[in-house]
Amino acid sequence: MSIEDQGLRETAPESDHGQDGRRLRHAEAATKPVAVKPSAAKAAREPQPRGAKIRGDRPIDQAEAAERFLAAPLHQKAHDARLWDLRGKRDVAAFGIPEWEELRELASQIKTHTLANLDRYLEEFEANAKANGVHVHWAADGADHNRIVHGILKDHGAKTLIKSKSMLTEECGFRHYMAGTGIEVIETDLGERIQQLDNEEPSHVVVPAVHKTRFDVAEVFARTMGTDPENDDAHYLAESQRMHTRPLILEADAGMTGCNFAIAETGTVVTCTNEGNADLSGNVPKLQIHSIGIEKLIPRIEHLGVFIRLLSRSALGSPITQYTSHFRGPRAGSEMHMVLVDNGRSERLGMEEFWTSLKCIRCGACMNTCPVYRRSGGLSYGATYSGPIGLIIDPTFNKRKYSTLPFSSTMNGSCTNVCPVKINIHEQIFAWRKVLAEEHQIPLLKQGMMKAAGQVLSRPAAYRAAIGAADSALKVLPRFAVYNPLNTWGKGREMPETPRQSFHSWYKQNRMGKTTSKTTDGEK
């Protein structure tokens, strides 16, 4: 059945503009089109650069993968512009709330309190979930999680599972595990589905296929769903996916979601999504499973009044996601399971310098603001978590494999400044460098790697072109970072104090008027 037969053309792109005629920018939408011109793309026929080469436990060569990303200017430019646009939207949303800094401080303190009492809150959550009629499971690690979920599915004779995007299940390698079981897993988030069909990991925690152009998507869909390979219209591609996936959703034996927040006092799992696919996963099949990282706990419902206000504004610049869903108990005639996953989290809690990374709410703001991430793509990190937050989480999973990642940073501190739960990300990056060096996890190729990374960052032409004339302090950040790269590499020095003010005002105070290109003493 061709797509035309299904009357797709009647779905006019009325989503571009709202009822009042103004251009819409909600969800992950770009404020202005960042699309590559068809003529340029067709002429270049630029293939999508692939991610880091994975060779067992050997250290990831992020710089090598980044070089290949930089060598694909259409992809690199679109990626950079798209994420910088999200960062800009985030700033507008954040500055629109007078109590923004107070909310960040509250969120940070609530997380600190919860993590310091996590045993108690997990027990409370478990007791309430059980009282709600939910089956609660505990998984020690990723393999345990996969076995448990597989067991639940087997017990119900499930043959297909629809799921919404979950970084936790990525971390557990759930899809790879399930590939050998005869049970089909169908991702229902558009970006995640694109990545699944292309047999590639998500490159970003919020926008999984942000490194792909629409030409790449058209190629993937033509190959896997039989769409018209010449039609690269985003509306056509998204609609094709809807038509293709919907029967799979209707026929699925089980549904699965991740979890943004788990509420101890009620045993509720909260998901924040834009597409409605988490709610389809949780409300259509008779069996529903929610996978929960144990660090997702927060004490009470009222605390959502802090976190929901921060999450989507930080991630996308929207006041809230299209759907904020609260799953507390099973529907009549259905069964509900929750899997609490540790996978190294309880161990990380004891790492004095690094435990606060458990506060992360996976908004992706640190990724969007990071000049290295924007210019190298999430897949270059060769890990589930990329960008600044990845640099400080990944080594806790595998010190050797991810030993080089903490060096993929300019240490500009912007990640710390945008973090909605005030994780001192750049300080932890620096601390990891010390730990890894002391433990001799940095291999001999360290020097060579840092040199390569320096080369990546010392090629500012594409960057300047992408951000254009920088006329605001915020826009100057990447210029500063790019002009100032080599001195941040490998030099031990004083780190900036944890900022108590916004980056904007910090910048004005410390950097405005100085010749950034000649700065030689780093940030401070």
Partner 1 sequence: MSAREDTLARIRKNRPAGDHPLPEVPLFPPLVGDDLMAEFGERLKRMGGRIATPVAGADPFAAVRERLDGATVIASAVPEIAGNRDLAEVARPQDLADVDVAIVRAVFGVAETGSVLFTQNELRVNAVAYLAQHLVVLLDPADILVNIQAAYRRPDFARAAYAVLHTGPSATADIEGVLIHGAQGVRSLTVILLPRA
Angle between helices 304-315 and 100-116 (to 10 degrees): 120
Residues contacting partner 1: total by CB under 8 A? 110
325: contact with partner 1 by CB under 8 A:
yes
138: contact with partner 1 by CB under 8 A:
yes
Angle between helices 62-70 and 73-95 (to 10 degrees): 100
235: contact with partner 1 by CB under 8 A:
yes
Strand, coil or helix: what is 220?
A: helix
| 514 Cβ contact partners less than 8 Å away, ≥ 6 residues apart | none
Q: How far is the CB of 329 from partner 1 (least distance, A)?
A: 4
Contact with partner 1 (CB under 8 A) among 289, 306, 393, 450 = 306
Q: How far is the CB of 323 from partner 1 (least distance, A)?
A: 6
* 309 vs 374 by CB, closer to partner 1: 309
Q: How far is the CB of 465 from partner 1 (least distance, A)?
A: 19
Contact with partner 1 (CB under 8 A) among 171, 342, 427, 523 = 342
The closest of 490, 488, 426, 503 to 458, measured between CA atoms, is 488
Angle between helices 62-70 and 446-457 (to 10 degrees): 20
350: contact with partner 1 by CB under 8 A:
yes
200: contact with partner 1 by CB under 8 A:
no
224: contact with partner 1 by CB under 8 A:
no
Contact with partner 1 (CB under 8 A) among 68, 75, 82, 433 = 82
* 173 vs 276 by CB, closer to partner 1: 276
77: contact with partner 1 by CB under 8 A:
no
C-alpha distances (whole Å) from 103 to each of 70, 314, 346, 481 are: 37, 12, 26, 28
Pick out residues in 259-278 that bind partner 1 (CB under 8 A): 265-266, 268, 274-277
Q: How far is the CB of 390 from partner 1 (least distance, A)?
A: 20
d(CA 240, CA 511): 49
Cα atoms in the Cβ-side hemisphere of radius 13 Å centred on 370: 26
Question: Which range of residues in 324-332, 403-411, 434-442, 514-522 is near partner 1 by CB under 8 A?
Answer: 324-332
117: contact with partner 1 by CB under 8 A:
yes
Three-state SS string over 44-90 comes to HCCCCCCCCCCCCCCCCCHHHHHHHHHCCHHHHHHHHHHHHHHHHHH
In this structure, what are the phi and psi dihedrals at residue 291, rounded to the nearest 5 degrees? -95, 130
132: contact with partner 1 by CB under 8 A:
yes
The secondary structure element, H or E, covering residue 503 is: helix 503-510
Contact with partner 1 (CB under 8 A) among 64, 67, 101, 144 = 144
464: contact with partner 1 by CB under 8 A:
no
Pick out residues in 5-34 that bind partner 1 (CB under 8 A): 11, 13-16, 18-20, 22, 24-30, 33-34
d(CA 377, CA 107): 29
At which residue do the structure tokens 């504004």 appear? 313
d(CA 299, CA 117): 10
- What are the strands, taking DSSP E only, across 179-318? 184-187, 254-257, 261-263, 268-273, 287-293, 297-298
Contact with partner 1 (CB under 8 A) among 75, 104, 303, 374 = 303
Q: How far is the CB of 495 from partner 1 (least distance, A)?
A: 21
Q: Pattern 175-194, binding to partner 1, x per CB under 8 A?
A: -------------xxxx--x
The amino acid at residue 524 is: K
238: contact with partner 1 by CB under 8 A:
yes
* 282 vs 406 by CB, closer to partner 1: 282
